[in-house]
Amino acid sequence: MTLLALGLILWIVPHYIKRLAPGLRDGWGNPGKGAIALAILAGMVLMVIGYRSAEFVPVYAPLPGMGHANNTLMLVALFLYGVGGTKGTLYPRMRHPMLWGTVVWAFAHLLVNGDLASILLFGGLGLWALGQMALVNRTPWTAPTNGRGLKGDAMNLAGTLVLYGIVAMVHLWLGHPVFEGTYY
């Protein structure tokens, strides 16, 4: 659990530095940006290792049938991740699609995982995304106007389905079949 917590810290703190201490980050130049990127990468690695090695400590029992809700919400989360890149109809209407995708992803996983490590990982990243949105919202936003419209949505949907298949295969490879009635 220590590695998981350390990974979360190495993910959250560098992400917050940009918003909480922009002058500090800017003063570091490119070497500082590289160090921040390495800290974030190290955080991701530690979160994975820490989550995979954490002892299973049950906190709550997921409700029956939540696997279907999880699978549906994961489609929504992956679609939200692609909104900025494909610039579909949501692009000019939504300020934080990737962060909202992270919130949906975290909530979906909390529906099917009731152990302490899952609460720390998914709950921590979901709260980080909400906090990040609050920090970003302190600055004014001008909605973009150069979207692709329905073409972007079609591209995003195709990419979402491909990525969903890849994510499902990785989960299966890790021993967590996503289309069965029971999870983790």
Residue 84 and residue 162 in one domain: yes
Q: Can you say how many angstroms the Cα of residue 125 is from the centroid of all Cα atoms in its chain? A: 7
CA 56: distance to chain centroid?
22
Q: Contact, 59 vs 115, CB < 8 A?
A: yes
Based on the fold, state whether residues 17 and 41 are members of the same structural domain.
yes
pLDDT per residue over 81-118, tens digit each? 999 889 999 999 999 999 999 999 999 999 999 999 99
**Nearest Cα to 15, choosing from 91, 106, 102, 79?**
102
Higher pLDDT, 183 or 14: 14
Residue 162 has pLDDT above 70, yes or no: yes
Structural domain span for residue 32: 1-54
Q: Both 147 and 101 in a single domain?
A: yes
Q: Does residue 47 sit in the same domain as residue 64?
A: no
Q: Which of 54, 73, 88 is the endpoint of a domain?
A: 54
Same domain, 23 and 112: no
Question: 3-state DSSP call for residue 51?
Answer: helix
42/100 Cα distance (integer angstroms): 23
Q: Are residues 106 and 43 in the same domain?
A: no
pLDDT tens figures, 6-31: 999 999 999 998 888 877 777 787 88
Q: Let me know whether 91 and 173 are in one domain.
A: yes
**In a shared domain, residues 87 and 175:** yes
What's the structural domain count of the chain?
2
- Give the mean pLDDT of 60-65: 92
Of the candidates 53, 41, 51, the residue with the CA atom closest to the CA atom of residue 120: 51
When pLDDT is cut at 50, 70 and 90, the band that residue 181 belongs to is low
Q: Are residues 99 and 173 in the same domain?
A: yes
Q: Are residues 138 and 72 in the same domain?
A: yes
One-letter amino acid for residue 26 of the chain: D
Which two tokens mark 109?
């996983």
Same domain, 69 and 34: no
pTM of the complete model beyond 0.95: no
66/155 same-domain check: yes
Cα angle for residues 159, 68, 161 (degrees, 5° grid)? 10
